[in-house]
Amino acid sequence: MANKEIFEVAMKQSAIDSNCSANDFCSFDNKVVLSKNNPSARKYLELPFLCDLTSRDIVPFYCCAWANIKSVRNAIKSGFVPAWVQMTIKPNSFIDKMNSPT
């Protein structure tokens, strides 16, 4: 099987597992899929989308709080790599002053 065929099979199976259609994964609209029957559906929702974005040379981004262990584990299982980003509303001059050696 070629990569495209494997991708199509994975998308169809993921759609079945998450109670939606395979075409939903190709759309860039926000999707809300309620799946009470399958608690691990989130992994299958994100994995095909991640593969599709990567194949189009788009770097996907998944954001969650580290305190949300379930979401972090789901992101890792879906192929996302953990990274740490710290954000602030302080002006750059303030940050530069904090980071400069005294």
What's the confidence (pLDDT) of residue 1?
Answer: 64
Top-confidence range, 1-5, 23-27, 75-79: 75-79
Domain that holds residue 40: 3-99
Please answer whether residues 37 and 19 qualify as being in contact, where contact means their C-beta atoms are separated by less than 8 angstroms.
Answer: yes
Q: Domain count of the chain? A: 1
Sign of the torsion angle spanned by Cα atoms 25, 60, 17, 9: positive
- pLDDT value at 85 more than 80: no
Please answer whether residues 81 and 54 qualify as being in contact, where contact means their C-beta atoms are separated by less than 8 angstroms.
Answer: no
Length of the chain: 102
What's the confidence (pLDDT) of residue 39?
Answer: 56
User: Which residue has 């996302």 as its token pair?
Assistant: 80
pTM: 0.34
pLDDT in tens, 37-77: 555 555 555 555 555 655 666 666 677 777 888 878 877 77
- Residue 47 and residue 49: Cα distance in Å, rounded? 5
